[in-house]
Structure 1
Amino acid sequence: MSSTGQAHTICIWTVGDEAVLAVNYYDLTVDDAKTWTEVSNGFVPMEQKYREPDRWHAELFGQETAAYRMVHWNQRGDRIAHRTASSVRKAPRDEFYWIIVPERGAYSIRYGDEIMQAAPGSVMVTGFDEVCLKHVPTSSAYALQVPRAEIDHRVKPSGRLRLVLDMNSGLGRVAKDMIRSAHAEKSNLSDREFNAICERISELLCMLSLGDVHPQQAHLPEAVEAIRRYVRENVGVGDLRLPAVAHTLGWSPRKLRLVLQQSGTTYRDVRQDETLRAARDMLENPARDAMSIRQVAVRSGFTPTWFSAAFKARYGETPGEFRRRRLAELAYQRVPQIGA
């Protein structure tokens, strides 16, 4: 990737012991509009116009294999990109779709009289093989390029595929978390691992587009983790009754029960397990104003007697024994050791 003007390539290298098993990733900081146009046109050629080209600043973080490409950008300034008939003829780019996940700012595209817009909490799936006008304000977003055939054979669109999907459902959140995790672990992934993650993301989004939010067997671990994470994060502060959790995750109560049943557990067991984990974390607080064991029990939805019995059955010691042991261990760690 070339850089001119104020563009600086911070790092470009290959991860992996063998070139064939490598994920290429790069970080780029650009402080002038001309260089950003060159960078952007390396993905999809367009005519770029900037509101304040002299004050332009953007950061691009990317990773790619022969099959997939994922980028994350932070952009300071507004721009409009025109995909003209000439650019479409010269570079059709009709072999893939872009999955765009805004984190800050609304991303919009106009196709003739049709306008698509994706804001934080949603995702846009579209191609750039036709004339369009794209508006990208000051923003931060992820974009994943996937082979078109991979989505078309699942969704079977009658024409050009253009989707805006709500990412606030259970599977939507899982897909968004996977995108963030793949980006965060870019230096630790082989091409096979990166490709597997990207393929799974596209499968989840296809399920959302078809209204099929019942996870297939391959997706059960992610679905169960979404349930567990929600319970864990809402102990003592949210409604953890099964219907409320199912509604928040975008499922019906029946589907939530079925997901857990297929994973060999029940919602009752998941709720108790995650509640006890949260309670254990509360008991580890060494602060003088830490909650009493009774307060921890009440916040966790237990009676004190039942809490003690359930905690001992799960961890092999009573809440009181656990707290005393952890406090002693913390105190020992703070004492300077001889010879240290």
Structure 2
Amino acid sequence: MAANSYLVETTTTGGVRPRERREFWSEHVTSYHCELDYRYRQSTDFTGGTIRQCSDTYQIVQFWSDEITYARTPGLVRRHPDEDYRFLLPLKGGLVVRQDGNQAELLPGAGSLITLDAPFELLHGSDTRAFIMTIPADEVNGPLNRTSSLAAGLDMSKGLGRVAADMMRGLFEERDTLSAPQFDAVCARLVELLCMLVVGDDRPDVPGHLAEVEAMVRRYVRRHAADPELNGASMARELGWSLRQVQLALHHAGTTPRELIREERLRLVRERLLHPGYRHMTITELAYASGFSSASALSTAFRRRFGMSPREFRREAAGEPAERRRALTG
């Protein structure tokens, strides 16, 4: 597909001769997922269909068919790796997902996040209709701090789960009116909600996900505070989160990326003003070496935070007599 493209297509077995439908279906599903084993219940005829919408980044498919089992065997995983995740959301009937020795039976109102980079089985009956969404691996591995498979059922009937499910239905219903940037923007928000749901962050008494993000962000900012290019977007990119997730986590802690970066830079300047090894540096040099754009920007922020200028703080820290400081400052 061309760059920044968006595609909507409908495919069914209706125009295929009955004896060729199973082969057609296998090739069709493989073409937009990966190599799978297909175990058909019927020995001859088979019916099924898909409505697929996709961009260069995300893909959502609504599918329905006769009874079938899809499988990724260890051999297929080795020969045809696929690191991306899939989110399953049944709309009618049910799905059974088996992976890592776990089994999840999904009915409408439940969902599951899995990877095709580990052996699994997915089976359903002829009355099933469901969504399957393809999500880039780094959008799950980073936020969830994992590279392993998932097969847990997620409650999509209330709270954050219902919001996410409604977003997916909305994407499908508006599929013919969306542009590629619009589709990607909503999908990105949907993935954030799913990651929060996986770690239970939809419950106000379990802020584990946001707390984890906040801790990682604070460590990163402390290590890179002196970088003049540091901002919310750059730290989110380096940590593998979205900017929105970083903002949410810091908002939960009562701050913002800009405020946190400024506070860490002020802390760094304060420590250097106290350290004998930095006495040879001017205030201007300290400002640039600590990530500030100018000495005036540092002085303004420092006075607001500590009630005095960096120069006054240095003199006080050095034990300079108050009379001498007043004479020098006029």
Normalising by structure 1, what TM-score? Answer: 0.54
Partners in 1 of 2:71 and 2:93 — Cα distance? 19
Give the letter aligned to residue 122 of structure 1.
A
How does 1:81-160 map onto structure 2 within 5 Å?
81-94=70-83, 96-111=84-99, 113-138=101-126, 139-157=128-146, 159-160=148-149
Structure 2 residue corresponding to 1:209, chosen from 198, 209, 212: 198
Match of 1:38 in 2: 27
How does 1:326-337 map onto structure 2 within 5 Å?
none
Identity over aligned pairs, percent = 27
Match of 2:160 in 1: 171
Match of 1:54 in 2: 44
Structure 2 residue corresponding to 1:65, chosen from 55, 63, 81: 55
TM-fit CA distance, 1:109: 2.3
Question: What CA deviation, in whole Å up to 9, does each residue of 1:274-299 have, x standing for no partner?
Answer: xxxxxxxxxxxxxxxxxxxxxxxxxx
Classify the secondary structure of the residue corresponding to 2:176. helix
TM-fit CA distance, 1:57: 0.9
Partners in 2 of 1:48 and 1:115 — Cα distance? 19
Classify the secondary structure of the residue corresponding to 2:52. strand
Count of paired positions: 198
Partners in 2 of 1:143 and 1:198 — Cα distance? 13
Mapped contact 2:3–2:56 kept (Cα < 8 A)? no
TM-fit CA distance, 1:214: 6.2
TM-fit CA distance, 1:55: 3.3
Which runs of 5 or more structure 1 residues have no equivalent in the other structure? 1-13, 217-340
How does 1:183-262 map onto structure 2 within 5 Å?
183-213=172-202
Partners in 2 of 1:143 and 1:98 — Cα distance? 6
Question: What CA deviation, in whole Å up to 9, does each residue of 1:149-168 have, x standing for no partner?
Answer: 11222222373333320011
Partners in 2 of 1:166 and 1:128 — Cα distance? 22
Partners in 1 of 2:200 and 2:98 — Cα distance? 25
Mapped contact 1:117–1:124 kept (Cα < 8 A)? no
Which runs of 5 or more structure 2 residues have no equivalent in the other structure? 15-20, 208-330
Partners in 2 of 1:112 and 1:151 — Cα distance? 18
Match of 2:293 in 1: none
Distance 1:109 1:119, change over 3 A: same
Distance 1:208 1:52, change over 3 A: same
CA RMSD across the alignment: 2.3
Mapped contact 2:59–2:135 kept (Cα < 8 A)? yes
Classify the secondary structure of the residue corresponding to 2:143. helix
Give the letter aligned to residue 26 of structure 1.
E
TM-fit CA distance, 1:21: 4.2
TM-fit CA distance, 1:67: 0.6
Partners in 1 of 2:90 and 2:161 — Cα distance? 13
Partners in 1 of 2:130 and 2:115 — Cα distance? 17
Normalising by structure 2, what TM-score? Answer: 0.56
Mapped contact 1:46–1:87 kept (Cα < 8 A)? yes
| Structure of greater Rg | 2
Partners in 2 of 1:65 and 1:82 — Cα distance? 25
Classify the secondary structure of the residue corresponding to 1:55. coil
Give the letter aligned to residue 28 of structure 1.
T
Partners in 2 of 1:110 and 1:67 — Cα distance? 26
